Structure 1
Amino acid sequence: MNLRTAVTTLLTGGLWGLAMVALPVTAESPDPHMLYNQHCSACHGVGRLGGIGPALLPENLSRLKPDAARDVIRDGRPATQMPAFGALLDDDEVAALAEWIHEPPEEEPTWTDDDIRASHVVDHPYGSLPDEPVFEVEDLKNLFIVVETGDHHVSLLDGDTFERIERFPSRYALHGGPKYTPDGRYVYFGSRDGWITKYDIYNLEVTAEVRAGINMRNIAVSADGRYVMAANYLPHTLVLFDARNLELIATLPVEAENGETSRVSAVYTAPPRNSFVAALKDIPEIWEIRWPEQRAEGDEPLVGDFALHRMAAPDYMDDFFFDQSYRYLVGASRGDGGGGVVFDMDAEETIAELPLEGMPHLGAGTTWELDGRRVMAIPHIDKGLVSVFDMSDWSLITHIETDGPGFFMRSHENSPYVWVDVFFGPNHDRIHVIDKQTLKIAETLTPEPGKTAAHVEFDRDGETLLLSIWDDDGALLRIDAETLEELDRMPMKKPSGKYNVWNKTQYEEGTSH
């Protein structure tokens, strides 16, 4: 890992520790700026520009009014790492903070194309490193990337031997999941504060980095491996890069035809469509960035051969799930309790409404075959349910009751089970194993009492799986996918996501895409 990234990691880790020190406050005359620096800056960034949490600026808070902001500050927020501060701050302090974050900063934050280019560093130009791996493994497609959020590191594991090949520091607060090139050689990381890092797995080297924005949600790599696109909360942009050296190709302002701008919740690669699809937070539209063979009359030219196709959405849809054909998009607005809809992207119309009250986590949905039909299962992050739908007519098959709200769900084509955690609530140390044919909970495991068990990822063949003990004094567990017995464990600092090269590059049906 280069010195630049290591120093950045050290500094951001230091800021985290500093910001979490509890200093006395003056309750009689709360100073929101001081309160923010004490309690908020570690996650939301210096100057409110974002970090592990979103940027707290008026243009980012159009759908979070001051009254709602007070509730979030006091009580926390499900499906995020936002804790409750009601025990640390009194009502006046909470109110002062909620009002202050809705006020514009003294200087309007910007991140221009010049800023992007100035941040760009290439350590190893594309094609300059050897094409043969510097390590030996049985199967290069059965490698795992493991993100360790406890001390901002990444581990590369051999999926056959469960041995660590390399461990290296990462940018602060990686988010959205690493993305591989189709051949599995390169992996791209995106951080909440806007950095994209390209890593050569074969040579165990960072090759290039660039900062795409101030607050970034995720990145996507095109199906042909030629392009990387970043989705930003701040500024309101999608940014396109050449995948080889992360050189800027174009910045796309995210604006409705009436001029209203929007944060981008996520961008996805749609391989069968040869396009990117973007989920917008503040505009009731679905955006598809198309290659030449997909362009249609009325598409808006962007740069080179790319074009933007706008689709009117029935409502705000900032959380997506795609069927395997990428024709049907299941969308919902996280947190509004309005249920979900199935949107046909070919016909550009809603074809079904789904009873998904509350907060479904569509990004964690998975599908499998049941009695000759394909079904879709989705966990909920505000209630102990997994909802199962028939994808032939989008009818509800059942709700599976769980021991609490869950966040991650995983399976594999070769596994009879689907795994779902109980991430939120008092039973967070449990994880359910659901039989995919009976739709019943077959086993409930408690791998480490008192510590959160979360996020399963299978190996290439679905024979073993990795499970996180999501704790600073945590571990990565290797489990037999058939017997459910623990085979081995590796101590880790709060391991979060695991990403198998084969499953991700082949779009295996049980893995999030």
Structure 2
Amino acid sequence: MKPLTLSLLTALFVAASPLQADTIATGDLGLIIERAKGSVLLVDQSERATLARIEGLGDLSHASLVYSPDERFAYVFGRDGGLTKVDIVTRTIANRVVQAGNAIGGAISDDGQLVAVSNYEPGGVRIFDADTLKLVADIPTDSKTIGLVDAPGRRFVFTMWDTGETWIADLSQPDMQITKITDMGDRPYDALITANGRTYITGLFGEDGLTALDLWDETPEPIRVLPNYGRGQQEMPVYKMPHLEGWALTGSEFVLPAVGHHEVLWVDADTLQETGRTQTYGQPVFAMARPDGRQVWVNFAHPLNDTIQVIDSVSKDIIHEFKPGPAVLHMEFTPRGHEVWLSVRDAGKVMIYDTRTFEKLREIDADSPSGIFFTARAHRTGL
């Protein structure tokens, strides 16, 4: 018998590799929440196209999600208390549990093994095995729980609306340890953590200012930020609460959407002192930095939510303003920031723009789109 030639061996190897035709790279993908349908759209950034619609995720009227470290699975947190594990490779629901009556977001641990959900009803935080969605820990708080983020060292940090406390749950050892920090302020409404995992900041609805924690401190203590700033004695109407995960870090400064005011605030990231203000078209909801930090894109609360403004982070001036359409709910930059995707709910569109020329590149049809989440988030603390 003649020896097999190299070309024949190659052909046989290819024929014996059933996964080759099905191989899919996840780094270029993302999910878009369709809030009215209980579905998500799987999209391709480079193609600027929809790949699939995945249905059956429940009430997504206020939904968010996080990704597994390998970017294969998305964990979607629904308003109905649903926690849904979506497989973006097979484009199916891998698992789903309804773990509470009203959920408000979640986080995934830095090792990707635990998924935590914060709840309004019955309150508290529940933590699940990321693989099986089996309950690992139930942390009652007797309060609506907000601002849940992951922190380095298999920790979760979250804050209570009713009691003004922040708790740190450490699951790095078999016995979970909880650190409770009081006096965070009156009615904290949301929170963020910096990308290095050091600073946790809560926004306050019931009093002026914000509160920060230095998580590198062995015993973190509340640090008041902008104590004379807020709605003040003459309260301003608030049409929609700003989203603190949409706060921007540009170089050495935070850019924060002001509660009830038509402006964003600039704060030194080291000293937490105010460095400036930029007047805006409306009450900001998201103030999001392009990945290189040079621009901040801002959208606004109803009834002025048809407009986007772009701020230069060096001059702090508005350099561009345009109206994509009615109800611009969310923005997401491609990982290196050359494009931005905008969900325009009442137009039923996701619109894609070049961030340097501001040219509109494409529209994608979507049913009441809201949150846009690219898989690059899998590798960033707090997202």
- TM-score by length of structure 1 reads 0.65
Select the residue among 358, 362, 370 that pairs with 2:244: 362
Q: How does 1:157-196 map to 2 (within 5 A)?
A: 157-169=43-55, 170-196=57-83
| Paired amino acid for 1:506 | H
The 1:266–1:176 alpha-carbon spacing in structure 2 relative to 1, beyond 3 Å, is: farther
Q: How does 1:458-473 map to 2 (within 5 A)?
A: 458-471=333-346, 473=347
Shift of 1:133: 9.2
Partner of residue 418, structure 1 = 296
The question of whether the paired residues in 2 share the 8 Å contact of 1:409 and 1:419 is answered with yes
Answering whether residue 333 of structure 2 is matched by residue 476 of structure 1, we say no
Partner of residue 322, structure 2 = 445
| Paired amino acid for 1:493 | D
* Counterparts of 1:356 and 1:498, CA distance in 2: 31
Shift of 1:132: 6.1
The question of whether the paired residues in 1 share the 8 Å contact of 2:192 and 2:244 is answered with yes
The 1:353–1:416 alpha-carbon spacing in structure 2 relative to 1, beyond 3 Å, is: closer
SS of 2:302's partner is: coil
Kindly report the root-mean-square deviation, in angstroms, between the aligned alpha carbons of the 2 structures: 2.3
Answering whether residue 177 of structure 2 is matched by residue 252 of structure 1, we say no
Select the residue among 148, 163, 167 that pairs with 1:267: 148
Shift of 1:476: 0.6
Higher mean C-alpha deviation, range 144-153 or range 353-362: 353-362
The 1:463–1:135 alpha-carbon spacing in structure 2 relative to 1, beyond 3 Å, is: farther
The 1:150–1:226 alpha-carbon spacing in structure 2 relative to 1, beyond 3 Å, is: same
Shift of 1:408: 1.6
Q: How does 1:81-120 map to 2 (within 5 A)?
A: none
The question of whether the paired residues in 2 share the 8 Å contact of 1:240 and 1:251 is answered with yes
Residues 101-134 of structure 1, C-alpha deviations (whole Å, 9 max, x = no match): xxxxxxxxxxxxxxxxxxxxxxxxxxxxxx9698
Partner of residue 507, structure 1 = 380
* Counterparts of 1:444 and 1:331, CA distance in 2: 29
SS of 2:59's partner is: coil
| Paired amino acid for 1:420 | V
Shift of 1:505: 1.6
Shift of 1:341: 2.2
- Greater relative contact order (Cα 8 A, min sep 6): structure 1 or 2? 2
Q: How does 1:280-429 map to 2 (within 5 A)?
A: 280-292=160-172, 304-316=174-186, 317-334=188-205, 336-345=206-215, 346=217, 347-354=219-226, 355-358=228-231, 361-369=243-251, 374-414=252-292, 416-425=294-303, 427-429=304-306
Partner of residue 142, structure 1 = 28
Residues 326-367 of structure 1, C-alpha deviations (whole Å, 9 max, x = no match): 222222333x24221222232422334214403654332110
Partner of residue 54, structure 1 = none
The question of whether the paired residues in 1 share the 8 Å contact of 2:351 and 2:364 is answered with yes
Shift of 1:174: 4.9
The question of whether the paired residues in 2 share the 8 Å contact of 1:276 and 1:289 is answered with yes
| Paired amino acid for 2:196 | S
- TM-score by length of structure 2 reads 0.86
* Counterparts of 1:133 and 1:506, CA distance in 2: 26
* Counterparts of 1:314 and 1:291, CA distance in 2: 23
The 1:213–1:333 alpha-carbon spacing in structure 2 relative to 1, beyond 3 Å, is: same
Shift of 1:415: 5.7
Residues 113-168 of structure 1, C-alpha deviations (whole Å, 9 max, x = no match): xxxxxxxxxxxxxxxxxx9698666x521211101113332101011111111112
SS of 2:284's partner is: coil
Shift of 1:193: 1.3
* Counterparts of 1:284 and 1:492, CA distance in 2: 38
The question of whether the paired residues in 2 share the 8 Å contact of 1:225 and 1:243 is answered with yes
* Counterparts of 2:261 and 2:243, CA distance in 1: 11
SS of 2:282's partner is: coil
Partner of residue 234, structure 2 = none
Partner of residue 217, structure 1 = 104
SS of 1:349's partner is: coil
Select the residue among 313, 321, 342 that pairs with 1:436: 313
The question of whether the paired residues in 1 share the 8 Å contact of 2:250 and 2:294 is answered with no
Larger fraction in strand: 2
Aligned residues: 353
| Paired amino acid for 1:231 | S
| Paired amino acid for 1:276 | F
Partner of residue 3, structure 2 = none
| Paired amino acid for 1:288 | I
Larger fraction in helix: 1
The 1:134–1:422 alpha-carbon spacing in structure 2 relative to 1, beyond 3 Å, is: farther
Shift of 1:280: 1.0
Shift of 1:461: 2.0
Shift of 1:273: 3.8
> Which consecutive residues of structure 2, in runs of 5 or more, have no partner in the other structure?
1-17, 232-240
| Paired amino acid for 1:455 | H
The question of whether the paired residues in 2 share the 8 Å contact of 1:415 and 1:462 is answered with no
The 1:213–1:150 alpha-carbon spacing in structure 2 relative to 1, beyond 3 Å, is: closer
Shift of 1:180: 0.5
The question of whether the paired residues in 2 share the 8 Å contact of 1:273 and 1:326 is answered with no
SS of 1:208's partner is: strand
Residues 449-486 of structure 1, C-alpha deviations (whole Å, 9 max, x = no match): xx122321011221111012121x42111111211100
The question of whether the paired residues in 1 share the 8 Å contact of 2:65 and 2:75 is answered with yes
* Counterparts of 1:213 and 1:133, CA distance in 2: 41
Shift of 1:233: 1.4
Partner of residue 156, structure 1 = 42
* Counterparts of 1:353 and 1:133, CA distance in 2: 54
